Amino acid sequence: MEKISAVKGMQDIFQPESGLWQYIESLIRDEMSAFAYGEIRTPILEKTELFVRGVGDATDIVKKEMYTFSDKGGRSVTMRPEGTAPVVRAMNEHGLLTSGDPISKYYYIGPMFRYERPQKGRLRQFHQFGVECCGSESPYIDAEVIQILYNVLTKLKLSDISVRLNSLGCAECRPVFRQSAEKYFSGIKDKLCPECAERITINPLRIYDCKTPSCKENIAGAPVILEHLCAGCKDHFNEVKYALNSIKVPFVTDALLVRGLDYYTRTAFEVTSKHLGAQDALGGGGRYDGLISELGGPKTPAAGFGMGIERVIIAMKNQNVAPELKTGCTAYIVPLTKNEAGYAFKLLDILRKANISSQMAVSEKKAGAHFKDAEKTGADFAVIVGEDEIKNGAPTVKDLRKRTQQSVSETELANYIARNL
């Protein structure tokens, strides 16, 4: 019978790879604790309307990439393609938003889904770490979320990363820029890809995000938002840059940077790596002061970002900075015959209660074969149980690294192994 394989663009993660995921997630959780962010976990399925209204019906995500279907009740539901809109929905629904101080700070880690051509660093099920900070217009909040992403990446020992920074303006100044962009792109419509030609009147900002070579060439001469910012947006952007300089987070201003989602206002940023190839973004985000009210909540300023965990892992491996993590167990208990299995199982329980990773041989083999199995599991010690060991209440502990062995009393077994790790 033919094997059933995973769905295209979706992958299994198991040891030793899963150990690296746990390492990254643990580092993230420690960092979020230092920044006083609480965790939020939202459902994988959401009402389709959430993403149409929140992400934008002119975006590639909504138009092409969402896993959308009707459930058995005929309701249109979508597997979440990004994390911000679900978090905002949850905060609105459960009354988690506050105004002024204290502000609402949440982070999430979990799978997202987009139907697109699978390639390295771009899967149909991928995982994101993200933060959402709601309730303040302060540019120092923008700087804080950028700092969090930069801190996580540098603590993972990634180098050659670049923070690209831009301002997308606000409801006051962006319409003027949009008119200027629409006029420019209308004049070169025949040089744009068919999709961007349609975007000219729908949402010309999306053209700046196009990866088609013909469009990228012509974007270079297009108007930039920084030339059209109102006084308030200029001041805000300057404060963000000042804040980042004060905490020594390096950045470059990129006047052509836009994000692939429609909800961003003012600050937009992206962090890229030289070790990822063409798909070089590790994460990005910005300010979204209108999204919460757009999704039915109170008028609330907010900022956040999303980071791709798969892409971070690729960059770590390409830079050879992924840590060597111990896999397998610490102690491997070997009953010499089935008659000693009961006592061996008791020792196994003693070690596990002492938080010593342990397992027991359950097949009948010669002692030499058991020791080879112990080494395959990565065990540091083999605990040998025979008739004499049971009689004396003292198993023999073999150090598989030093090739030495010693008789140790049952009551001292856990302490002995812990001391000699």
DSSP letters, 76-138, are EEEE-S-SHHHHHHHHHHHT---SSSSPEEEEEEEEEE--S--BTTB-SEEEEEEEEEES---
For position 280, what pLDDT does the model report?
Answer: 84
Shared domain for 314 and 371, answered yes or no, is no
Name the domain count of the chain. 2
In a domain, 408, yes or no: yes
Question: Is residue 269, in this structure, part of any structural domain at all?
Answer: yes
Looking at the fold, whether 56 and 93 belong to one and the same domain comes out as: yes
Dist CA 418 CA 414 (whole Å): 6
Instruction: Say yes or no: 100 and 74 in one domain.
Output: yes
Q: Which amino acid is at 194?
A: P
Cβ neighbours of residue 324 under 8 Å, at least 6 residues apart?
Answer: none
In a domain, 219, yes or no: no
118 and 264 in a single domain? The answer is yes
HSE value, Cβ hemisphere, 13 Å, CA-based, for 23: 20
Judge whether 276 lies within some domain: yes
pLDDT of residue 257: 87
Give yes or no for a cis peptide into 16 (omega within 30° of 0).
yes
Residue 34 sits in the same domain as residue 122: yes
Contact 86, 50 (CB under 8 A): yes
- Specify whether the CB–CB gap between 147 and 271 falls below 8 A: no
Here the contacts of 23-28 (C-beta below 8 Å, separation 24 or greater) are 23/323, 23/325, 24/156, 24/309, 24/312, 24/313, 25/109, 25/129, 27/152, 27/155, 27/156, 28/107, 28/109, 28/129, 28/152
> Burial code of 22-61, b = ≥16 C-beta within 10 A, e = fewer?
eebeeebeebbeeeebeebebeeebebebbbbbbbeebbb
201 assigned to some structural domain: no
Distances in whole angstroms, Cα of residue 398 to Cα of each of 34, 344, 373, 375:
42, 15, 14, 12
Q: Specify whether 285 is located in the same domain as 391.
A: no
Domain end residue (candidates: 291, 318, 345): 318
Residues 337 and 411 in one domain: yes
Do residues 381 and 290 both lie within one domain? no
Nearest to 228 by CA among 269, 270, 171, 188: 171
Q: What is the DSSP string of 333-355?
A: EEESSGGGHHHHHHHHHHHHHTT
Place of tokens 């459960």: 94
Asked if 318 and 296 count as a contact pair (C-beta separation under 8 A), the reply is no
Check which CATH number belongs to the domain holding 357 and give it.
Answer: 3.40.50.800
Neighbours of 362 (CB within 10 A): 11
In a domain, 387, yes or no: yes
Task: Give the pLDDT of the chain (421 residues) as one tens digit per residue.
Answer: 899 999 999 999 998 899 999 999 999 999 999 999 999 999 999 999 999 988 877 677 888 899 999 999 999 999 999 999 999 999 999 988 865 667 999 999 999 999 988 777 679 999 999 999 999 999 999 999 999 999 999 999 999 899 999 999 998 888 888 888 888 888 888 888 888 888 888 888 878 878 788 888 888 788 888 988 999 999 999 999 999 999 999 999 998 888 766 678 899 999 999 888 767 889 999 999 989 998 999 999 999 999 999 999 999 999 999 998 888 899 999 999 989 999 999 999 999 999 999 999 998 888 888 889 988 888 999 999 999 999 999 999 999 999 999 999 999 999 999 999 8
Same domain, yes or no, for 281 and 401? no
Tokens of 291: 């999204």
Residue-wise burial string across 332-361, b where 16 or more C-beta atoms lie within 10 A, e elsewhere: bbbbbeeebbebbeebbeebeeeebbbbbb
The reply to whether 50 and 165 lie within a common domain is: yes
Check which CATH number belongs to the domain holding 116 and give it: 3.30.930.10
Token code pair at residue 378: 């990565």
The answer to whether position 323 is within a domain reads: no
Domain end call among 318, 349, 377? 318
Whether 217 maps to a domain, the answer reads: no
Say yes or no: 308 and 336 in one domain. Answer: no
Distances (CA, A) of 386 to 47, 352, 356, 392, 394: 62, 21, 22, 10, 10
Domain hosting residue 78, numbered range: 17-173+229-318
Bin 385: left if φ > 0, else alpha if -120 < ψ < 50, else beta. beta
Query: In residues, how long is the chain?
Result: 421
The residue among 318, 349, 368 that closes a domain is 318
Question: Quick one: residue 328, left, alpha or beta (phi over 0 = left, psi -120 to 50 = alpha)?
Answer: left
Q: Are 270 and 391 within one domain? A: no
DSSP label of 356: -
| Nearest partner of 360 among 395, 326, 394, 391, judged by Cα | 395
> What's this model's pTM, rounded to 2 decimal places?
0.89
Q: What confidence score (pLDDT) does residue 263 get? A: 79
Query: Which residue in this structure is represented by tokens 């010309």?
Result: 204
